[in-house]
Amino acid sequence: MTGSGYKSAWRSRLTAPDVVGVGLYGIRGRRGRAILTAIGISIGIAAIVAVFGISSSSKADLLAQIDALGTNLLVVTAGDTLGGDDSKIPVAAPDMARRISPVRSASAVAMLDTEVQRNKYDESPNGLDVYASESNLLETLEGTMTTGRFLDEETSTLPTVVLGSVAAQRLGITGLADLPTVYIGDQEFAVVGILDPLTLHPDLDRSVLIGEAATTTYLGADLYPTRVYVRTTPEHVDAVRSVLGRTVNPGAPNEVEVTRPSDALAARAQVDEGLQNLLLGLGGVALLVGGVGVANVMVISVIERRQEIGLRRAIGATRRHIGVQFLIESVTLTTLGGLIGAGLGSLITYVYAQQQGWTIVVPVTILGAAIAAALTMGAVAGLYPAVRASRMDPAEAVRPST
């Protein structure tokens, strides 16, 4: 044959499964070393996953709490007038609020300038407030009773009170069995119910509530709302919030303040960011050190495996085949580390969340990002060793070691 053309049938080829198989060859033969090499990456990934997992779980827990309490309750309070005096909320405010269509219920309370005592002649300060309340307050706050009933149409007109949980405790009233009474001024009031604690309204926990009609009848006080509680449909909280001030006090909308009690709790979900960033930084450093470790081990591996590289070149591997082999090896090592780290981080999150009584939340995006980071790390760490392996002179590489 005198043909001088290069035969394309002679092209060096490696099937896709063999690319993978060859890439894993070095790791299969040195499993112990592979695990040790992957540990650095694992620690970094575990730290990052745990930080995100723990903060997500804690956040989720807080948000669940807030959700249970409801984020659709708004409170209107009297602000300051332009002149700096206390302003007043118009008496018609609750009715006005109820006219906003997404408002489910609204009820006002008016603080009375008086004190409550267990005994008629007792005057020791107890820090308890007395409020006139509409009979739909319990419904608006979605509160529950420890015992007895809330003020209704009938009891609102009679000398009866409902006690907040703290008020009941301070007045030494634990049940209704022995028909307890309290004194407001000289007037005796029968206790008809005790409220469960209201997480978002600790001020009401420390209060004694009287019906509006009874207030006028027995205490003769003016009834200007101190606060108006407004429960809206969940989807329209913001819309209601933006018009509520104008609606309840059209004359001076700036003199009322509209707040959402759940916002204070939600703010707590954000506070630990500084610590979180510090831990993330440490995780990042561990990851980087792990990556340098992998690069180091890979360089040593290339030197140690000179003869394997020479043999592969002799049996037909191209430079690219050799480079890809070492790149796959490096990426496999770091991805292995990433997987171990993701598992470890999830475990840490699990144990910690379990201790705190939280539900466990490890965001899938974080797991994905962590493994992607490990993979990228492997590609970067493996690049130099892979290039070095691929550039090795085959004649040099097959030479006997002396």
Partner 1 sequence: MTADSVVLRLDNVVKEFPGSPPVRALDGVDLSIGAGEMTALIGPSGSGKSTLMNVIGTLDRPTSGEVRIDGVPTVTLSDAQLAGLRAARIGFVFQQFHLLEGATVLDNVASGLLYRGQGRAKRRAAATRALDSVGLSHRLHYRPPQLSGGERQRVAIARAIVGEPAIVLADEPTGNLDTGTSESIIGLMEELNVAGTTLLVITHDQDVAGGCRRQVTIRDGRLVSDTASEPRRLTEVGAAL
Part of the chain binding partner 1 (CB under 8 A), chosen from 116-124, 161-169, 232-240, 316-324 = 316-324
The residue from 42, 137, 313, 333 that contacts partner 1 (CB under 8 A) is 313
**Dihedral of CA 149/152/154/156: which sign?**
positive
Contact 244, 76 (CB under 8 A): yes
The residue from 88, 241, 319, 388 that contacts partner 1 (CB under 8 A) is 319
Q: Toward partner 1, which CB reaches closer, 268 or 391? A: 391
Q: Toward partner 1, which CB reaches closer, 260 or 312? A: 312
2 touches partner 1 by CB under 8 A: yes
The residue from 318, 344, 347, 350 that contacts partner 1 (CB under 8 A) is 318
Q: How far is CA 265 from CA 65, 147, 260, in A?
A: 9, 28, 10
Give me Rg for the CA atoms of the chain: 36
Q: Toward partner 1, which CB reaches closer, 151 or 317? A: 317
Cα angle: 287, vertex 290, 293; to 5 degrees: 155
Size of the site for partner 1 (CB under 8 A): 41
The residue from 92, 278, 285, 395 that contacts partner 1 (CB under 8 A) is 395
Give the residue among 61, 90, 149, 107 at the shortest CA–CA distance from 356.
Answer: 61
Part of the chain binding partner 1 (CB under 8 A), chosen from 1-9, 175-183, 205-213, 349-357 = 1-9
19 touches partner 1 by CB under 8 A: no
68 touches partner 1 by CB under 8 A: no
**What burial letters (b/e) apply to 271-286, b meaning 16+ CB within 10 Å?**
eeeeeeeebeeebeeb
Contact 205, 198 (CB under 8 A): yes
* Largest Cα span, the chain: 128
Query: What is the C-alpha separation between 77 and 105, in angstroms, rounded?
Result: 16
Q: Toward partner 1, which CB reaches closer, 154 or 393? A: 393
235 touches partner 1 by CB under 8 A: no
368 touches partner 1 by CB under 8 A: no
Q: In 239-290, which ranges are E strands?
A: 256-259
28 touches partner 1 by CB under 8 A: yes
307 touches partner 1 by CB under 8 A: yes
Give the residue among 353, 219, 36 at the shortest CA–CA distance from 209.
Answer: 219
The residue from 83, 84, 172, 400 that contacts partner 1 (CB under 8 A) is 400
Query: What is the C-alpha separation between 400 and 353, in angstroms, rounded?
Result: 58
The residue from 209, 312, 336, 346 that contacts partner 1 (CB under 8 A) is 312
Q: Toward partner 1, which CB reaches closer, 6 or 121? A: 6
Write out the residues near partner 1 by the rule CB under 8 A: 1-7, 9-15, 17-18, 22, 25, 28-29, 307-308, 310-321, 393-395, 398-401
